[in-house]
Amino acid sequence: MEPLERYRPIIDDFDAFLAACERPLGNAVRVNTIKATVERTLAALDEAGLDYEQADWNPRVIDLETDSPGSTWTAFHGFTHGQEEVSAVPPVVLDPEPGERVWDCCAAPGGKATQIAALMDDRGTVVANDNNLGRISALRFNAERLGATSLAVTNADARNYSLERFDFDEFDRALVDAPCSCEGTIRKNPDALDNWSEGHISSVAGVQKGIIRRSIQATREGGTVVYSTCTFAPEENEAIVQHALDTESCRVVDFDLDLEHSPGLTEWDGDEFDSSLENAARIYPHHNDTGGFFVAKLEVTA
């Protein structure tokens, strides 16, 4: 937990934060409304005698009382998909509509991409890209099990992504769920901090900058880009959004989130960020008994 000490000045009730990071997480699943309604899914869980609790902020997110959420009838039918509660936040903030063209540029293993497809009633085009071929097989497996027919899967580096392969030349929305140092996943993966270093953070930040810039370039004027990570490091969060503000045409916008969170930072380690970064959300493990996440919503401008 030592790497997390650097966040003592910015996190309220830091001791509660550390204590939460040491507790393991429960098993959350997301209801896949491409396959079944929430009501029917709950009835199927009742039939199986499984206990569960729906999240207050999102009835499609369920905390399931089982050690093997993948060995249930609801998982077999694709009614449910194992996905951490906070991991379901970015697609909700992206707020895609049926018929749109949406780019999930770091999509594997596909939890968020299929959630986007479900939010669009599986109508429109969701381009699910990942640069890692091995992880793409997991993405394809999940997409088929969850019945997402609106997904097109590509294998490319998001930083220089070409739209020439399609008939259209810009997206309505893009989700950048960026590769990151994963500090916020410590409750799920106790090894998450083993390879932590400031050098690692700065190298991954370089990749994040390239991806967020390309996602803004590939999105139409007036369109939406959501940037998210599962880490606390401001170098990978606010500083990346600041880089986008400095180099591309966009602005940070506010969004509603019925989940307890802290505002984004406007300064860190001597660097100042635009005041609009207060509109971003920092979700800490002790807030809602979840993993950690950062989410910012951008509008592409002229």
Partner 1 sequence: MADGNDGQRFDRLPATPAERTVEGRVSREEVVDYFDDRFGVPPETFDDYTFWEKGAGKIWIYGGEAPTPLEIEAIGMTCLRTRQEHWKPTTDFVQRFGGHATECVIDLDRERARRFAAGEDQELERWDGDWGYLIAAHEVGVGPEGRPVRDGEAVERGESEAIGVGLYVHGELRSMVPKGRQRDLES
Residues lying near partner 1 in the complex (CB under 8 A): 34-36, 40-44, 46-49, 70-79, 101, 122-126, 136, 140-141, 143-145, 147-155, 165-168
Task: Name the token pair of 9.
Answer: 């000045």
109: helix, coil or strand?
A: coil
Nearest approach, Cβ of residue 86 and partner 1 (Å): 27
Nearer CB in complex with partner 1: 99/190: 99
Q: Record the tokens describing residue 234, joined without a space.
A: 């401001």
**Which residues, in sequence order, are bridge partners of residue 228?**
177, 295
Report the nearest approach of partner 1 to the CB of residue 223 (Å).
Answer: 16
274: left (phi over 0), alpha (psi -120 to 50) or beta: beta
Name the residue nearer to partner 1 (CB basis): 99 or 263. 99
Measured between alpha carbons, how far is 234 from 226 in angstroms, rounded to an integer?
16
Catalytic site residue from 21, 106, 230, 250: 230
Return the amino acid letter for 264: G
The phi, psi pair for 109, rounded to 5°, reads -90, 15
Chain-centre distance for alpha carbon 27:
17
Establish whether 230 is a catalytic residue.
yes
CA distance 184 to 200: 16
Query: In this complex, which beta carbon is closest to partner 1, that of residue 3 or of residue 110?
Result: 110
Cite the DSSP H helix spans in the chain.
14-22, 38-47, 73-76, 89-94, 111-119, 133-145, 198-217, 238-247, 285-288
Give min distance, CB of 164 to partner 1, in A: 10
Closest CB to partner 1 among 20 and 139? 139
State the minimum distance, in angstroms, from the CB of residue 136 to partner 1: 6
Nearer to partner 1, 150 or 228 (CB): 150
Token digits of residue 20: 């939460």
Pairing of strands 61-64, 125-130: unpaired
In the bound complex, what is the minimum distance in angstroms from residue 85's beta carbon to partner 1? 22
**Among all chains, which residue has been given the structure tokens 């993405």?**
139
Q: Hey, which residues are catalytic here?
A: 230
